[in-house]
């Protein structure tokens, strides 16, 4: 993986070198003087199908930082789609700039034209700093967009489906740890009670789990505590709390050198992307401490499943939930594979995802 600081130091970015590192297929730089659009679309792998991944708008400090982000995110989408049994590849797009200053109809529609020019090889959706109405502007210029609101015929907000996938992945992990998948009486801490965290609490409270919640946002914290009879806890306190399950549903990289030794949980199962600060090192550290880690890109795939079915056709809420429910069995399979082969669970999940891609690539 390229480090931003290294890139800054480098005289020039070795673009093809970066593509070769993780075998990315294609990179598209989009520029338009009239609207001020600067965007990068990264297509990592299209063996299983068109590369689907959201468009993120961010005020990157350098083009190299934007490049680093889009390559990393596109690669993540490949394995998330593969492990979820979707006939989709992995891609992602970033639009560079300050949302408040540059985002407008013309810029978004210009971006839509670039997406359209790829003839469906890349399919876009919502990501950070993009709203459903932004996606509607993009959709005016391309049909290769998904995740539109239900009111205009799309699959709508992916968060409830994501929460459902996290919930079933958590239950599967409980079955592995305790011999049955009931969460009744289990102490569960949920970090971040935003769109996904709040829906997750609904499932957990129905199962009569003992809930602990943390969030920067005082309003959300208190409404979650009140609605679900959860105990509010401090932002840092969450890492020391003795619980059965820790569920990171806020930001990534919370499993790191500073937190692992403080954790007193049996299971980690949450929605956040890239929970392991270092996939290899921290995956191994969790395994050696006997903590069951439900791989993030597997159990938070409900949202992708929702938009994926929407794009591929035949979407219904029931179908999206039914496919998401399969995360339960896949989690069990991965935890068993990790145990059998003496590898950590993130590794086991990657192994299964890569196997599906190479099996399909080998079809005559
Ligand atoms: P959100 O922005 O609605 O909610 C995140 C919440 O976390 C906010 O309430 C925020 O105040 C809180 N938060 C931020 N930093 C925190 C901290 N240090 N401690 C405690 N709380 C903190 O986001 P979301 O849509 O609920 O997504 C949650 C996570 O799941 C994100 O990492 C997202 O990338 C990932 N994810 C979401 C989806 C989806 O369908 N929404 C799908 C896959 C992955």
Degrees, nearest 5: CA angle 174-178-180: 70
Tell me, yes or no, whether 214 and 66 share the same domain.
no
Domain residue limits at 236: 159-294+329-348
Q: Does 301 map to a domain?
A: no
Bridge partners, 255 (sequence order):
276
Task: Dump pLDDT digits (tens) for 68-82.
Answer: 999 999 999 999 999
C-beta of 159 in contact with ligand 1 (< 6 A): yes
C-beta of 201 in contact with ligand 1 (< 6 A): no
Give the pTM.
Answer: 0.92
Domain boundary among 152, 171, 202: 152
Determine the Cα–Cα distance for residues 33 and 51; give it in Å rounded to an integer. 27
Q: Does 357 map to a domain?
A: no
344 CA → ligand 1 middle, Å: 25
C-beta of 54 in contact with ligand 1 (< 6 A): no
Residue to mutate (ligand 1; options 131, 196, 217, 305; most atoms within 8 A of CB): 196
100 CA → ligand 1 middle, Å: 21
Closest CA to 175 of 338, 339, 347, 329: 329
Tell me, yes or no, whether 71 and 177 share the same domain.
no
C-beta of 273 in contact with ligand 1 (< 6 A): yes
Determine the Cα–Cα distance for residues 83 and 300; give it in Å rounded to an integer. 11
Q: Catalytic amino acids?
A: 92
**Whose alpha carbon is nearest atom 41 of ligand 1?**
159
Tell me, yes or no, whether 87 and 38 share the same domain.
yes
Determine the Cα–Cα distance for residues 63 and 276; give it in Å rounded to an integer. 25
> Residue 181: helix, strand or coil by DSSP?
coil
Domain boundary among 152, 187, 213: 152
274 CA → ligand 1 middle, Å: 12
Determine the Cα–Cα distance for residues 37 and 95; give it in Å rounded to an integer. 7
Determine the Cα–Cα distance for residues 350 and 178; give it in Å rounded to an integer. 25
Tell me, yes or no, whether 81 and 22 share the same domain.
yes
Q: Does 266 map to a domain?
A: yes
SS3 content of the chain, % helix, strand, coil (to 5): 50, 15, 35
Look at residue 153 in the predicted model and tell me its pLDDT.
Answer: 80
Q: Does 303 map to a domain?
A: no
Give the burial class of 102: count Cβ atoms within 10 A of its Cβ; 0-12 exposed, 13-18 middle, 19 or more buried. middle
CATH of the domain at 230: 3.40.50.720
DSSP at 276: B
Return contacts of 146-149, CB within 8 angstroms, 24+ apart.
146/52, 146/307, 146/308, 146/310, 146/311, 147/54, 147/306, 147/307, 147/310, 148/310
Tell me, yes or no, whether 179 and 87 share the same domain.
no
Look at residue 139 in the predicted model and tell me its pLDDT.
Answer: 96
DSSP at 342: T
C-beta of 250 in contact with ligand 1 (< 6 A): yes
Tell me, yes or no, whether 123 and 225 share the same domain.
no
Determine the Cα–Cα distance for residues 24 and 22; give it in Å rounded to an integer. 6
Which atom of ligand 1 sits closest to the CA of residue 196? 26
Task: Dump pLDDT digits (tens) for 221-234.
Answer: 999 999 999 999 99
Q: Does 342 map to a domain?
A: yes
C-beta of 274 in contact with ligand 1 (< 6 A): no
CATH of the domain at 21: 3.40.50.10860
C-beta of 216 in contact with ligand 1 (< 6 A): yes
Look at residue 343 in the predicted model and tell me its pLDDT.
Answer: 97
Tell me, yes or no, whether 190 and 339 share the same domain.
yes
Tell me, yes or no, whether 188 and 215 share the same domain.
yes
Residue to mutate (ligand 1; options 53, 159, 192; most atoms within 8 A of CB): 192
Q: Does 364 map to a domain?
A: no
Asked if residues 186 and 244 have their Cβ atoms less than 8 Å apart, the reply is: yes
Tell me, yes or no, whether 106 and 39 share the same domain.
yes
Which atom of ligand 1 sits closest to the CA of residue 271? 30
Tell me, yes or no, whether 336 and 207 share the same domain.
yes
Question: Two tokens at 342?
Answer: 């003496």
Number of domains in the chain: 2
Tell me, yes or no, whether 191 and 219 share the same domain.
yes
Closest CA to 184 of 202, 167, 207: 207
Asked if residues 127 and 56 have their Cβ atoms less than 8 Å apart, the reply is: yes
Which atom of ligand 1 sits closest to the CA of residue 252? 32
Degrees, nearest 5: CA angle 350-354-359: 150
Residue to mutate (ligand 1; options 198, 249, 320; most atoms within 8 A of CB): 249
Residue to mutate (ligand 1; options 250, 255, 273; most atoms within 8 A of CB): 250
Question: Two tokens at 178?
Answer: 């305790």
248 CA → ligand 1 middle, Å: 8
Residues in the chain: 364
Q: Does 306 map to a domain?
A: no
Domain boundary among 108, 133, 152: 152
Asked if residues 97 and 57 have their Cβ atoms less than 8 Å apart, the reply is: yes
**pLDDT per 10-residue tile (average), the chain, 364 residues:** 52 84 96 98 98 96 95 95 97 97 97 98 94 93 92 86 98 98 98 96 98 97 97 97 98 95 97 93 96 98 95 92 98 98 97 97 86
Tell me, yes or no, whether 176 and 56 share the same domain.
no
Handedness of CA 321, 325, 331, 333 (dihedral sign): negative
Q: Does 354 map to a domain?
A: no
Give the burial class of 147: count Cβ atoms within 10 A of its Cβ; 0-12 exposed, 13-18 middle, 19 or more buried. buried
């Amino acid at each position: 993986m390229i480090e931003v600081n290294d890139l800054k130091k480098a005289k020039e970015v070795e673009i093809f070198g970066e593509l070769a590192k993780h075998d990315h297929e294609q990179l598209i730089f989009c520029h338009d003087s009239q609207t001020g659009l600067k965007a990068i679309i990264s297509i990592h792998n299209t063996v299983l199908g068109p590369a689907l991944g959201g468009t993120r708008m961010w005020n990157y400090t350098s083009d190299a930082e934007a490049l680093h982000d889009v390559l990393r995110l596109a690669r993540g989408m490949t394995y998330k789609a593969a492990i979820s049994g979707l006939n989709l590849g992995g891609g992602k797009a970033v639009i560079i700039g300050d949302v408040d200053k540059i985002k407008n109809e013309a810029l978004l529609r210009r971006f839509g034209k670039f997406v359209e020019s790829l003839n469906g090889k890349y399919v876009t959706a919502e990501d950070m700093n993009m709203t459903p109405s932004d996606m509607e502007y993009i959709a005016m210029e391309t049909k290769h967009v998904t995740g539109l609101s239900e009111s205009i015929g799309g699959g709508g907000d992916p968060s409830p489906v994501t929460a459902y996938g996290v919930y079933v992945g958590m239950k599967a992990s409980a079955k592995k740890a305790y011999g049955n998948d009931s969460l009744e009486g289990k102490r569960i801490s949920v970090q971040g009670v935003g769109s996904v965290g709040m829906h997750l609490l609904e499932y957990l409270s129905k199962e009569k789990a003992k809930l602990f919640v943390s969030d920067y946002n005082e309003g959300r914290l208190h409404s979650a505590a009140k609605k679900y009879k959860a105990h509010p806890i401090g932002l840092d306190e969450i890492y020391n709390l003795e619980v059965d399950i820790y569920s990171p549903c806020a930001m990534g990289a919370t499993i790191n050198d500073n937190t692992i030794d403080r954790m007193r949980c049996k299971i980690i199962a949450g929605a956040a992307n890239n929970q392991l600060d270092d996939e290899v090192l921290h995956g191994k550290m969790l395994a050696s401490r006997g903590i069951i880690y439900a791989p993030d890109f597997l159990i938070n795939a409900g949202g992708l499943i929702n938009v994926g079915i929407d794009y591929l056709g035949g979407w219904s809420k029931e179908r999206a939930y039914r496919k998401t429910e399969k995360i339960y069995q896949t989690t069990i399979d991965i935890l068993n594979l990790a145990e059998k082969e003496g590898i950590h669970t993130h590794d086991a999940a990657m192994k299964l995802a890569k196997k599906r891609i190479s099996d399909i690539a080998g079809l005559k």
